[in-house]
Amino acid sequence: MAGIQIGDAATAGFRLIAKRPVSVLTWGLVTAGYICLILALFGASLLNSFASVIRTPGATPTPQQIIGLVGASIGIGLLLALGMLFLSAMVQGAVLRAELEPDKRGFAYLRFGRQELWLIAVNFVTGLVIWAACVVLMIPLFILAGVLGFGAAGFAGSSHGSGAVLPMMMGANLVTFVGQLVIMGVAIWLWSRLSMGVVMSFQERQFRLFESWNLTKGHALQIFLTMVLVVLILLLAEIVIGIILGAGVGATFFANQDLRDPAAMAALPPSAWIGRLAPLLVIYGVVMVVFVGFSNAMVWGAVARMYRQLRPPEDIATTFA
């Protein structure tokens, strides 16, 4: 029976990066480029709204200033969220295509068509299923914790039951903690069982989320351990990124006295902020391009590799025969 080789699957992203470094960087560049485009078009209005709020230290912002700042923030947030919904599907599809259909290169394996639309649908339903399961599990947890909490409050008001307050409060906290661990475990288990639905839907160009249940039967622990290794690799990468960005922030603020003085900073026009922060923004942009491409390659490369291990090419050919 087909099985998952954890080490091979967890490092599939590294092999993909080694074979297609330009494509991986392009995935990050497309994502970062969209964010930069939105900020270039609408970031000035957000900066002006922010500057108007902090311009007068100690003064209470007017309702118009607050509405302007909130409106600009929400508008930019919606544009970013909507664009990233489609871009994430494109990048996700590109990684799967690079791993499963390496001959279909095109422009860094990027497309937007039927396969990407199925990815959006499958990702949405997966999140909805896991969310619904967590909500169902939270109901008895909240009830039990609430009963213990109210019981402790009742005993606190009684001279005869004051000694039971601490144990009951500790019990309520323990129930909440254990319950949260159980809910987290169920969410991880559900994702592991449904994870191949993304690849199946991509490959077959149909909604195939729940067909993943049979394919991953008996392999949930292997899938989980594979993704734990991937997450640990990404955490190490984030530590390196944090060090780089921290050094950039320190150098930027050290070189610009205005940025260390809130009053002086508030007196500057937004264009001056951008000029002083430009080196830091460049560093952040480069790091984001590299990390977005790297993280997508690691995560979806691993998922695609596990799918290939569970369902070798000859099995897929038999299915479509």
With b for 16 or more beta-carbon neighbours within 10 A and e for fewer, the 254-289 pattern comes to: eebebbeeeeebeeeebeebeebbeebeebbbebbb
Domain assignment of residue 1, yes or no:
no
Domain assignment of residue 250, yes or no:
yes
Domain assignment of residue 227, yes or no:
yes
Total-model pTM: 0.78
Over residues 270-291, mean pLDDT? 74
Report the candidate in 234, 230, 242 with the shortest Cα–Cα distance to residue 287: 242
Domain assignment of residue 115, yes or no:
yes
Domain assignment of residue 110, yes or no:
yes
Q: Say which residue the tokens 């026009």 belong to.
A: 269
Domain assignment of residue 165, yes or no:
yes
H helix runs in 157-219, sequence order? 165-194, 196-204, 212-215
> Which has more confidence, 178 or 171?
178
**Per-residue pLDDT band at 41 (split at 50, 70, 90):** confident
Domain assignment of residue 304, yes or no:
yes
What range does the domain containing 198 cover? 6-320
Question: What stretches of 73-185 adopt beta strand conformation (E)?
Answer: none
**What pLDDT score does 165 carry?**
55
Q: Count of domains in the chain?
A: 1
Size of the chain, expressed as the number of residues it contains: 321
Domain assignment of residue 186, yes or no:
yes
Most confident of the ranges 148-157, 167-176, 177-186, 275-284: 177-186
* 224 neighbors 192 (Cβ within 8 angstroms): yes
Q: Which range among 33-37, 99-103, 152-156, 304-308 shows the weakest confidence by mean pLDDT?
A: 152-156
Over residues 95-121, mean pLDDT? 92
* 223 neighbors 303 (Cβ within 8 angstroms): no
**What pLDDT score does 320 carry?**
47
**What pLDDT score does 288 carry?**
86
pLDDT above 50: residue 52: yes
pLDDT above 80: residue 270: no
